[in-house]
Amino acid sequence: MFWGTIAWAGSIDQFTTACAPAFLILTNWAVILDRDGVINRNIDGGYVSAWDEFEFLPDSLDAIAELTRAGFKIIITSNQAGVSKGIYTEKRLSKITANMLDRIEQTGGKIYSVRYCLHKDEDNCICRKPKTGLFMQAIHNIAADLKNTFVVGDSERDIEAGKKIGCKTILVLSGKIKNKKEADNLKSKPDFIAKDLFKAVKSIVIN
């Protein structure tokens, strides 16, 4: 997975297409990141409803750049029920996404796709985490092996969803769940616990 990006000057997609199927297995490592509490500061009990409320967590941009350099396909999935609750519009969410992606690219990161669930619990959709719809859509498009896919999240919903589909799960303590004690009380136990995304990425890249 590492030399795939080094040996090929084009994008991973071009590489995969040109060399498939022999090398497909080397390029299908993926990381699914939650957004709030992982990449940017979580607003406890509220929503990031505009770009000026979006604050990157320390080192999260560096962490994404490092994952990108290591050849991982990075996907962002996030529950954004604030849209169906009428707190912010889908258009405003798109604006936040576009600005976030700009900053990520400027700092050397590349995101393969961003997928949101806009529903509330009562809507009974198939995508709101801990349901697995968001993950399955994302994974389907990149032919990633679920066993070689890491899910990084700050809440039990992320971990539960990741475990349901057999991914490796990493809980970060930079958002909803703030310490080891709270983490130990969860019903869905993560495979790893890390202080933040930067520390999580260190363990992913070494593994």
Give the nearer residue to Mg ion in terms of CB position, either 154 or 156.
154
**CB-nearer residue toward Mg ion: 16 or 97:** 97
Q: How far is the CB of 8 from Mg ion (least distance, A)?
A: 34
The residue number whose beta carbon is nearest to Mg ion equals 37
The catalytic position among 13, 36, 52, 62 is: 36
CB of 164 to Zn ion, least distance (A): 15
Q: How far is CA 67 from CA 104, 115, 146, 148, 204, in A?
A: 12, 19, 17, 14, 8
Q: How far apart are CA 172 and CA 77, in angstroms?
A: 15
Q: How far is the CB of 197 from Mg ion (least distance, A)?
A: 11
From the CB of 57, what's the least distance to Mg ion, in Å? 11
Q: Which stretch binds Zn ion (CB under 5 A): 44-52, 89-97, 127-135, 199-207?
A: 127-135
**Which residues of this protein are in contact with Mg ion, per CB under 5 A?**
34, 36-37, 154
- Chosen from Mg ion, Zn ion, none, partner binding at 127 (C-beta under 5 to 8 Å by type): Zn ion
Instruction: Return the one option of Mg ion, Zn ion, none that residue 129 interacts with (CB less than 5 to 8 A, by type).
Output: none
Residue 196 annotated in active site: no
Report how many helices (DSSP H) and strands (DSSP E) the chain contains, helices first: 9, 6
Which of 33-41, 55-63, 106-114, 124-132 is the region at the interface with Zn ion (rule: CB under 5 A)?
124-132
**Is 136 a residue that touches Zn ion (CB under 5 A)?**
no
Q: Of these partners, Mg ion, Zn ion, none, which one is at the site of residue 125 (CB under 5 to 8 Å by kind)?
A: Zn ion
Nearest Cα to 20, choosing from 9, 30, 32, 28? 28
Among 64, 31, 59, residue whose Cα is nearest residue 174: 59
C-alpha to C-alpha distances, 27 to 15, 76, 92, 164, 207, nearest whole angstrom: 9, 18, 34, 23, 15
62: annotated active-site residue: no
In whole angstroms, what is the distance from residue 142 CA to residue 157 CA? 23
Q: CA angle, corner 13, sides to 152 and 92, nearest 5?
A: 55
Instruction: Please say whether the beta carbons of 76 and 90 come within 8 A.
Output: no
Q: Does 101 bind Zn ion (CB under 5 A)?
A: no
Under rule CB under 5 A, residue 119 binds Zn ion: yes
Tell me how far CA of residue 106 lies from CA of 32, 45, 114, 144, 184, in angstroms: 20, 31, 17, 26, 37
199 binds, among Zn ion, Mg ion, none (CB under 5 to 8 A by kind): none
Q: Catalytic positions, please?
A: 34, 36
